[in-house]
Structure 1
Amino acid sequence: MSKGSRLRARKKSEGLSEHGLINGWADAAGVRVRQARAGDLSAIADLVPLAGVGLEDVLREAVTAEFAGAALRSGLRGGPDAFHRHLAEQFARSFDDPLQAYLHAALVLVAEHRDRGIVGTLIAYPPINVADDHLQVLPADVDRREAQRRVVMLGAIGLAKIKAVAVAEAERRRGIGAALLKRCRQIYVHCGYLLLYGAMPPTPGLSAFYRRQGFDVMEPGAPLDMWMVFGVHSRILPGADERFFFRRFQPGTVHPGR
């Protein structure tokens, strides 16, 4: 069996498809993990403070207008090439406002229980501020306009930040957070991402949780190097008392399990 055939068979066995993202995958504890809809936003807004964040207005608008994750849906239909083409078209339309293109690669997932409704959520997206910060470390003699195009595009197609994983307190320790992370990882890796990361507060048990999901966990305050994404060493720092967790992926790889 060719490499392409093996990847297609693996994808099929996992049900990793646009249909699955929209309609949901049956997963742990009687929940279905699926892409968020406008009607889920109130429940999501109630859950994300458990992760110490809020639900940004631009993300609300993107979910309501149904273009949040549109590039990822293209990738699930046609692979990384389709994903890249979708984002390239978005940048061509609005390069001076790259946030709109970045939102096409945003992933907002919910875990929906058949009886209790939305009991968990995950928010992830390419962090546009990291690409902007990276521009500051480029050599002074480069073509700034061309460098900006390259860096902004690399940030959109190679780097995703997990902003929040939140599960209702009564539903914890049932594998729901792990199910949300699994689908998040699979989708971004399938679309060709190289680095998936987040920043965690010093909550007891969080480091062990992310390590069980296959993430590396850094020491509090330690920087994360963006070399793998941008090809130039540039570091980002976590917030006060936070530590990064991350997973790196090689181009063209698929990780069906953890």
Structure 2
Amino acid sequence: MVAKRSSPNPKKDKAARRRRPSRPPLSPARGGTVLTAAGLAEGMVLASGVRIRAARPDDVETVRRLIALTGSGVNLDGALAAAVTEGRLSAAVMKGLAEGPDALTYEMAVAASPEGEGSVEELVIGLTCVLVAEHPGVGVVGTLLALPPARMLSNIGIPDMESLVGLLKVVKLKAVAVDPAHRGARIAAALIAACRQLYTLLGYLLLYGQFEVGSGLETYYQRQGLTVLKEGQGVPLTMFSVPAAIYTEPTERFFACDLA
């Protein structure tokens, strides 16, 4: 049986293009590989050859330069930069990937205990992740910063112990940036996809972030599978025993997604 080739119909073809859904977020690794501690450290190679991996000490200045390009005022501050250099950044993340989410509960208990050797500040550093996109022959051309919003959780009226537990349930996508010469290659999409996969594996329930009203970024974040909230709408936190939500300035909007 020979299939007939339909004759070209410009109007029909144009309508079909309009109905065509946007591409789903890029899978962070070939073959749908599940993220591991070794994979995060060594990197997951995309079909394009770009490698998504955890930041290393010699990446710090490039990460700072890239994030500064966003003009958001966000940067890799001294404590986080020092943690990258000293190998302390993402320590709890790596442990959680290697041993499972229960390992993070232990780290939280150590941080909360007066007799423990840890601290809440050190726990936050351990749960923070700086990802980079490394282009073969070029070097690092993209970066992403994500961390638990410790200050916000301690100021929204929930019990202290629940705000500590929130460090293991809520993560903020603080910044994502790509070198202008490499934009349009879905590098930011790959970084966001890797971030979502990472914190999902760690047992987190919610990822959120914010952007300037009027920036036009709502369409971009929607293409990544994120829900863009209306202006003035807060991010509800339903995992706590009391009603709580995150709010921001009137000049900013939120995006969010469930990770469970």
Give the TM-score range, shorter chain. 0.7 to 0.9
1:167 to 178, 181, 191: 178
Q: Which segment is superposed worse, 181-190 or 76-85?
A: 76-85
Alignment partners' CA distance in 1, 2:103 and 2:32: 21
3-state secondary structure, aligned to 1:29:
coil
Matching of residues 208-223 of structure 1 within 5 Å: 208-223=219-234
- The AA in structure 2 aligned to 1:246 is A
3-state secondary structure, aligned to 2:97:
helix
Please say which structure displays the higher CA radius of gyration. 2
User: Where does residue 36 of structure 1 map in the other structure?
Assistant: 55
User: Where does residue 190 of structure 2 map in the other structure?
Assistant: 179
- The AA in structure 1 aligned to 2:256 is F
Alignment partners' CA distance in 2, 1:19 and 1:36: 13
Matched, 1:65 2:86: yes
Give the C-alpha shift of residue 214 in structure 1: 1.1
Alignment partners' CA distance in 1, 2:49 and 2:164: 38
User: Where does residue 47 of structure 1 map in the other structure?
Assistant: 66
**What TM-score does the superposition give when structure 1 sets the normalisation length?**
0.82
- The AA in structure 2 aligned to 1:19 is A
- Asked if the contact 1:94/1:101 (under 8 Å) is kept, the reply is no
- Asked if the contact 2:231/2:253 (under 8 Å) is kept, the reply is yes
CA RMSD of aligned residues (A): 1.9
- Asked if the contact 1:28/1:179 (under 8 Å) is kept, the reply is no
- The AA in structure 1 aligned to 2:137 is D
Matching of residues 184-203 of structure 1 within 5 Å: 184-202=195-213
- Asked if the contact 2:237/2:244 (under 8 Å) is kept, the reply is yes
- Greater helix proportion: 1
Say if 1:85 and 1:114 are closer, same or farther in 2 by CA, change over 3 A: same
3-state secondary structure, aligned to 1:71:
helix
Alignment partners' CA distance in 1, 2:37 and 2:69: 29
- Asked if the contact 1:157/1:192 (under 8 Å) is kept, the reply is yes
- Asked if the contact 1:25/1:34 (under 8 Å) is kept, the reply is yes
Give the C-alpha shift of residue 87 in structure 1: 3.4
Say if 1:212 and 1:77 are closer, same or farther in 2 by CA, change over 3 A: same
- The AA in structure 2 aligned to 1:61 is A
- The AA in structure 2 aligned to 1:248 is D
- Asked if the contact 1:71/1:87 (under 8 Å) is kept, the reply is no
**What TM-score does the superposition give when structure 2 sets the normalisation length?**
0.81
Alignment partners' CA distance in 1, 2:170 and 2:81: 21
User: Where does residue 253 of structure 1 map in the other structure?
Assistant: none
Matching of residues 88-107 of structure 1 within 5 Å: 88-92=109-113, 93=116, 97-107=119-129
* Structure 1 residue ranges, 4+ long, deviating more than 3 angstroms after superposition: 202-205
Deviations along 1:52-79, whole A, 9 cap, x unmatched?
1222111112111211111111111121
Matched, 1:16 2:38: no
3-state secondary structure, aligned to 1:22:
helix
User: Where does residue 9 of structure 1 map in the other structure?
Assistant: none
Q: Which sections of structure 1, spanning at least 5 residues, go unmatched?
A: 1-11, 139-146, 251-258
How many pairs does the alignment contain?
226
- Asked if the contact 2:226/2:256 (under 8 Å) is kept, the reply is yes
Say if 1:28 and 1:48 are closer, same or farther in 2 by CA, change over 3 A: farther
- Asked if the contact 2:196/2:259 (under 8 Å) is kept, the reply is no
Q: Which sections of structure 2, spanning at least 5 residues, go unmatched?
A: 1-30
3-state secondary structure, aligned to 2:127:
coil
Percent identity reads: 37
3-state secondary structure, aligned to 1:39:
helix
